[in-house]
Structure 1
Amino acid sequence: MFVGHYKDVEEKEVTIEGVENTTIRWLISPKIGAKNFAMRYFVIRKGGKIPIHQHDWEHEIFVVKGEGYITNGRKTVKVIPGSFLYIPPNEPHGYENPDSETLEFLCLIPVKEGSIPPEERGE
């Protein structure tokens, strides 16, 4: 068993092209022994965004704090604390926080090739 607190995990700026005012904490990953799923904690500060992108893996998301928007390029939906989302593999998706101090959410993804950076695989 592993028990931790999210504030004890390093908060890193997301440096992917087009991402603005966004941080990530890798709460659960292969680095601590997870073999099937990874759990990440994102914070998008006011005015921040993660532009539309897509992956070969699904996402499960739970909004913890703040309000914002998620889009697949065709439809945009407002999310609030308690909102949960399922994003299928290869579905375009992007996030934006125009108004809240922070938009904070958990995002779970499968552990598979390309989904986890080397430092979170324990390499």
Structure 2
Amino acid sequence: MFLDSAKNIKEIHVNAPGALNVIKQTLVGPDQGWAGWVMRLFTVAPEGHTPRHSHSWPHINYIVSGEGIMYLDGQEHPVEPGYTAYIPGGTEHQFINRGHQDFVLICIVPEEGDV
């Protein structure tokens, strides 16, 4: 069993090529007892973005706060709190903050995707 506040979970600045002003927190994963899967919280600061990329594993996403753009296979989709998405493996994607406050989203991936 695991219980904690996201306020207490380590923030990691994402330094991947193509990322700008992105923080990742690993909320629940194998270290907390959830073998095979990882739930992460990403905070994208204003004018920030994740890398535009694709990979073999799927994503499940939930927008927590802020407004942003979800780029999927060549199209930009405005998203706001309450939006959910399933992104199949092999789909080019990116999260972009074009707002004036943090854009925060939950991302669940198989353990192999938590790189």
TM-score by length of 1: 0.88
CA distance in 2, matches of 1:73, 1:98: 19
CA RMSD of aligned residues (A): 1.2
- Asked if the contact 1:18/1:51 (under 8 Å) is kept, the reply is yes
1:5 matched residue in structure 2: 5
**Structure 1: stretches of 5+ with no match in the other structure:** 118-123
> Which amino acid in structure 2 is aligned with residue 4 of structure 1?
D
Matched residues in 2 for 1:98 and 1:26: separation?
24
Is the aligned partner of 1:47 residue 2:47?
A: yes
Q: Where do 5+ consecutive residues of structure 2 fail to align? A: none
Q: Which residue identity does 1:72 align to in structure 2?
A: L
| TM-score relative to the length of structure 2 | 0.94
Moved over 6 A (4+): none
Name the structure 1 match of 2:114: 116
Give how far 1:51 is off: 2.6
1:62 aligns with 2:62: yes
Structure-1 separation of matches of 2:36 and 2:80: 28
Aligned to 2:18: 18
Cα distance in 1 for partners of 2:24, 2:106 equals 10
- Whether the 8 Å contact between 1:48 and 1:96 is mirrored in structure 2 is yes
CA distance in 1, matches of 2:66, 2:53: 22
Q: Figure out how many residues of one structure are paired with residues of the other and give that number.
A: 115
